[in-house]
Chain A
């Protein structure tokens, strides 16, 4: 699980002080799928980097319990171009024996449907497939917590729909705690058990909504569901308010 307590992050860039995160507090329970949405520039990526240990907070804490893995938005740049897919997926597993590593890699590639691509180089694959490799790498690592930073923002809509269903499937199978950052409101409601809405920078948690949709989600029916539309509208209104109210 992960706990964020009064997290704040201030950047000092060229003499200007930029307060990205003012006071963020929320927690995600063990095995829960939570989405974070907010207007552009509200510091979603900063929040993720603090959780991932890539940035240190100015004050407050961002704690993750257990091993964590990250899937970045720039899938093209997060895979090592000199390694084949299977070696990319197996890279974090260098402490394991060769056989163990191979087994985990094969399992992970199967989970994302890329068994045939094991011997290819990342740049030989499409964008969607590259992101699947990144997801497979996270799966093989066996984390308790998975952080995803707008992972499907840079793929086309069709591929995005497939990847959304894939990640819910992976989440079900592994039982990881998943924090999913996105700017796409529909996606956040479709995917999450809970949606955390951030205000504009300096951001706070504007809303922490439980998504009480059934666990079985489907691209066609769920998105037309009345409750889905209601939740979506509520979040949309919050974000509009957050955008307008940022200066008040």
Chain B
């Protein structure tokens, strides 16, 4: 049974139909954290986030406090919020953006104060038409109430937040590509080093890029203290986290649970969450953290939902999205579709990713649709090895960004776990599920 002792830190307002309005936000403690933060020294606000050991919720899981402290020596110029959520089957930021835009805005103002940044940008995925409307309305409301703009809430601090729409490119979730898009260019990830925009970011100046969910945690952390947040979860995975559950489950949705204290099985089977697999089918495999993550078989369902716990088993919690495949799902088709996605979204800068993803997609297509050969399995693994040499975890990188090295994850996992399914496709000359 799942543990539900933890408070809801970021999704507490979702129960209200008008959760996105200023009136509801103020009624439920909105902007008290900002008022409190403004009475503290900026570095003490940053220190609370350090104590909370809040791991970035975007996918890489880098400690937010450490990201900030890299900038302690030089003043930060810009804060950029990454709301370009496009990792397939990830929809938790979408939930926060539409359901609680004020919480996001308050979090951004708190972060800006801690970093002493006067200009922030919220980059939202262009496809979030309603999300863009709600966040802009929240920003308008915040200006109106004096929480944004010049000398906010009678303090000496001034801050402006600009909402920036993306235009449909998965790669813009990569922080340096996002910065390029914010500069009005094609979303090409930048060559590393420097590894962090903290050194050279927007307009070549020091920039902090944080995820929407990371920002949304800040009001609670300031109100309740970093220690209260760190008391939840275990090990390096503190606090709660939003998990987006989809695929072959009865109740797909976004659920906030305490980290580490619950397992994949809890989330999938507990009636308050996933409510079990459709038709009580057996689980074939799950994707534990976005399509860039290697898959888990049903024997790993009791793994706790924690960053290091999942990492130790050769995968990642990544973007917090869990996809369930059951006995009726075709793993070959799933692998082909995921690879087609990467092939479409490769920005085209690096040869291994641009060419490799296309070749992989074509070979997987013929396996799924007839015309595959037994040798194709070795061919696929060889192509994958050219993109991420050694096929280990975390993957070796031959490309500017991690999109390339993410491509082999599902292919390598699917062939290792379900070789017989691929052979079956070859022998039948097509998909048995058609």
State whether these chains interact: no
Name B's A-contacting residues (CB within 8 A).
none
Chain A residues in the interface with B (C-beta under 8 A):
none
